[in-house]
Amino acid sequence: MKKTIIIIAIALLSIGAAVFMVGLTFSGFNIAKLDNAKYENNAYDLSEEVGKIEISTQEAEITFKKSENGEIRVECHEREKVKHEVLIENGTLKITAVDKRKWYDYITFFSFKTPHVTVYLDSDYYDSLFIDNIVGKVSVPSAFSFGSSDIKTTTGDVNFGATVREDLKIKTTTGDVNIESVSAENIDVSVTTGRIECKKINCTDKLSLKVSTGRTTLTDVNCKEFVSEGSTGRLTLKNVVATDSFDIERSTGDVSFDNCDAEKITVKTSTGDVWGTLRSEKVFNAKTTTGNISVPNSVSGGKCEITTTTGDIEISVK
């Protein structure tokens, strides 16, 4: 039985590959001409009161805009067989992708365009925002604020500029995360392959940034506690101040400070240099297996522990 299934699967893949190559040949090897998906535009006008927003889609660019007529409107540029269901249920605006494709649609189905979902909102504030998107960019502008926000994407960038009263969570597998001019109690960002950039952030409690492969940059950030984990990628901090602590760990990648400070600073790297400037004196404990160390010989201030296996350590105090 297993052998039969494998043979059928191989046959279907072969058919799909053959159809693709034939189509590519007839299109003059212009891959854009192979897009055979049919799209349509649908709009939904809603009059009920909304307190929460939930969006679950397979593949779409999601954008929020302020409504000009004071009404909620959802505009979808979507595939014929992958439409979005839009409704308000118990005060929650729900936008859900409904895939009506059959198995055979995937064999000859080629699409190189990304559907769009544009949400026009009538209010400045909503209790919560939840987005689960597989493929596509998500943009949340500064015109809105939320009690909490949780955004998940598999492949796609996230641009976030709204104010969040409590927790802001962003998780993406492949894609960049840009957060700018945001205030929140806690911010938790996780990226597997991609870049994280934070500008003008005010986090009253914990700011946590985790990246496997990619660069992380922070500029003009204030928080109570800053935690950052990374496997491969440089961490750059400029004008970043934590009233409590920095807790930074990297496997491969440099860590740099520019006019930064925290009561307690801990940096651990395997391969990478640590350098830069701090705002106030620290009691330094710097260790490196292979590399040079240059830190102030101060005896007052908070603790600053820096450990690297292969790399130089060079810190000065302004």
Sequence letter at residue 7: I
**Which pLDDT belongs to residue 261?**
98
More confident residue, 155 or 105: 155
The C-alpha angle with vertex 205 and arms to 199 and 210, in degrees rounded to 5, equals 60
φ, ψ of residue 214 to 5 degrees: the values are 155, 160
Tokens standing for 19?
């159809």
Q: Residue 102: which residues within 8 A CB-CB, separation 6 or more? A: none
DSSP code at position 33:
G
Closest CA to 234 of 274, 285, 286: 274
Judge whether residue 62 has pLDDT over 70: yes
- At residue 25, the 3 state secondary structure works out as helix
Judge whether residue 3 has pLDDT over 70: no
Tokens standing for 205?
């409690």
Sequence letter at residue 11: A
Using CA atoms, how far apart are residues 270 and 265, in angstroms rounded to an integer? 17
Tokens standing for 90?
């118990």
Using CA atoms, how far apart are residues 78 and 99, in angstroms rounded to an integer? 11
Q: Which residues pair with 182 in a beta bridge?
A: 201
Task: Count CB atoms within 10 A of the CB of residue 299.
Answer: 8
Tokens standing for 251?
């496997």
Q: Are 51 and 92 in contact (CB under 8 A)?
A: yes
Question: Residue 128 — pLDDT band, cuts 50, 70, 90?
Answer: very high
Judge whether residue 298 has pLDDT over 90: no
Judge whether residue 119 has pLDDT over 90: yes
**Which pLDDT belongs to residue 79?**
87
Percent of the chain with pLDDT over 70: 85
- At residue 141, the 3 state secondary structure works out as coil
Judge whether residue 155 has pLDDT over 60: yes
- At residue 205, the 3 state secondary structure works out as strand
Judge whether residue 20 has pLDDT over 50: no
The mean pLDDT of the chain is: 89
The residue-averaged pLDDT of 39-63 equals 94
Name the pTM for this structure. 0.86
**Which pLDDT belongs to residue 221?**
98
The C-alpha angle with vertex 153 and arms to 216 and 256, in degrees rounded to 5, equals 5
Closest CA to 269 of 296, 224, 226, 233: 233
Q: Which helix (H) or strand (E) holds 264?
A: strand 255-271
Question: Residue 1 — pLDDT band, cuts 50, 70, 90?
Answer: low
Tokens standing for 238?
């400029």
